[in-house]
Amino acid sequence: MHLRTFFRTTLLLSGALLWNSCSQKSNETKPVRKPVTETVFASGILVPDDKYNLTAQNEGYLVQLNFDEGDTLKAGKVLAVIENKQNEANAQSAEALLSIARVNVSPDAPSLKQAEASKNLAEQKLKEDALQLDRYKKLMATNSVSKLEYENVELAYENSKTAFQVQQENYRQLQQQAEQQLILQNNQKEVNGVLKNQNEIRAVVGGKVYKKLKQLGDYVRRGDVIAEIGDKSKIYAKLSVDETNIKRVRLGQEVQVQLNTNKEKNYPGKVTEIYPAFDDQAQSFYVKVEFTSTLDFKISGTQLQANIITGQKPDALVIPRTYLGFGNKVNVKGKGIVVVTPGFISDEWVEIISGLDEQSVLVLDQNK
């Protein structure tokens, strides 16, 4: 859920700013010099550090839930179990097929033994034909056999040689196929084992359960969030800052945070991270603020408002904003309309850079 966020730039002033005397009418005032602090206002929520969603990797019914909201968990603990019989059946089938593949790759495998026997027979035939060819070579040298008889023996030898090579290659291919099948079945067994193990949902990182989103017996699908888990010891403020104000925010700036549960108390912090991406849905940038003092309320999702201190001036000249007219014009007693150069502008006050001094008497336009 995205929070609707409001933004404003404020001026924090010490002391009273209005100048009035008994002889002055209430619609007159003078500029005064005061220390001014410029802030960017933003709203946000409390977020635990290292927060992550515990999600389902398989689909099925939750048959076990071993945690409750607020529990502290250790990494690796089984938090939930999903009933997915298909994954269990696939794992058993993969194990059985792997056993067959192991047998097929051994020297005693029926297919390999048959191929080896054929290879041995071909080798024996080749040896016999080689001896026959050698004899006929000697006989041919003494003209004891005809040329045709010699060529027939030579042809028989070449045929035996080719047959032996074929049987050798056949044995090698069968052996290679058996080894490939063993690798494939072993991989399939590992994959199905992983899928089966994903029926057990474990804590990736230890932490505290801040929100439990599913109940026992719920049907979950892959990617469904079952719980939100985060660091129990550290929590920070996640602020939404408008794109027109983000340029004023810098790392290390001081921040005053008020929780909506206790708006009477300020919690000091500092900007530690400016998220690099703009959130299109919230239409804002996110800023991380870490608290510099002990936070006595640590419930994730608590709404808050904060002032990021973006600038300070120890001696600024300011006037009430109601005295500033359109076009940066003010009505000065005895001078009439004067155009001024404003600095910081808040809902109530305006810093004057030039055009006025402390002796100027401003008259409020009665028509305003």
Domain boundaries, the chain: 8-49+234-363, 52-84+199-229, 86-197
Q: How confident is the model at residue 17 (pLDDT cuts 50, 70, 90)?
A: very low
3-state SS string over the chain?
A: CCCCCCCEEEEEECCCCCCCCCCCCCCEECCEEEEEEEEEEEEEEEEECCCEEEECCCCEEEEEECCCCCCEECCCCEEEEEECHHHHHHHHHHHHHHHHHHHHHCCCCHHHHHHHHHHHHHHHHHHHHHHHHHHHHHHHHCCCCCHHHHHHHHHHHHHHHHHHHHHHHHHHHHHHHHHHHHHHHHHHHHHHHHHHHCCEEECCCCEEEEEECCCCCCEECCCCEEEEEECCCCEEEEEEECCCCHHHCCCCCEEEEEECCEEEEEEEEEEEEEEEEEECCCCEEEEEEEECCCCCCCCCCCEEEEEEEEEEEEEEEEEEHHHCECCCEEEECCCEEEECEEEEECCCEEEEEECCCCCCCEECCCCC
Q: How confident is the model at residue 195 (pLDDT cuts 50, 70, 90)?
A: low
The whole-angstrom separation of Cα 246 and Cα 81 is 44
- What percentage of residues in the chain have a pLDDT greater than 90? 41
**CATH dotted code for 52-84+199-229:** 2.40.50.100
For the chain, how big is the Rg over CA atoms in Å?
43
How far does the chain reach from its first CA to its final CA, in angstroms?
42
Q: Which residues contact 335 (CB under 8 A, 6 or more apart)?
A: none
In the prediction, which pLDDT does 227 show? 92
Listed residue (251, 244, 195, 229) closest to 82, CA to CA: 195
**pLDDT tens digit sequence for 83-98:** 867 666 666 776 777 6
Residue 99 has pLDDT above 50, yes or no: yes
Q: Is-contact 282 276, C-beta < 8 A?
A: no
Residue 279 has pLDDT above 90, yes or no: no
Q: Is-contact 355 329, C-beta < 8 A?
A: no
The whole-angstrom separation of Cα 338 and Cα 336 is 6
Mean pLDDT taken over the chain: 84
Sign of CA dihedral 67, 73, 74, 75: positive
Q: How confident is the model at residue 58 (pLDDT cuts 50, 70, 90)?
A: confident
Residue 1 has pLDDT above 50, yes or no: no
Q: How confident is the model at residue 319 (pLDDT cuts 50, 70, 90)?
A: very high
Helix axes 147-197, 85-105, angle to 10 degrees: 150
In the prediction, which pLDDT does 42 show? 92
Residue 23 has pLDDT above 60, yes or no: no
Average pLDDT of the residues in 289-312? 90
Least confident of 55-64, 105-114, 241-250, 281-290: 105-114
**pLDDT tens digit sequence for 122-131:** 999 999 999 9
Listed residue (309, 311, 307, 312) closest to 257, CA to CA: 307
Q: Does the fold of domain 86-197 match that of domain 8-49+234-363?
A: no
Higher pLDDT, 37 or 291: 291
**CATH dotted code for 8-49+234-363:** 2.40.30.170
Q: Which residues contact 171 (CB under 8 A, 6 or more apart)?
A: 112, 115, 116, 118, 119
Residue 343 has pLDDT above 80, yes or no: yes
Higher pLDDT, 174 or 219: 219
CATH homologous superfamily for 86-197?
A: Helix hairpin bin (1.10.287.470)
Higher pLDDT, 355 or 21: 355
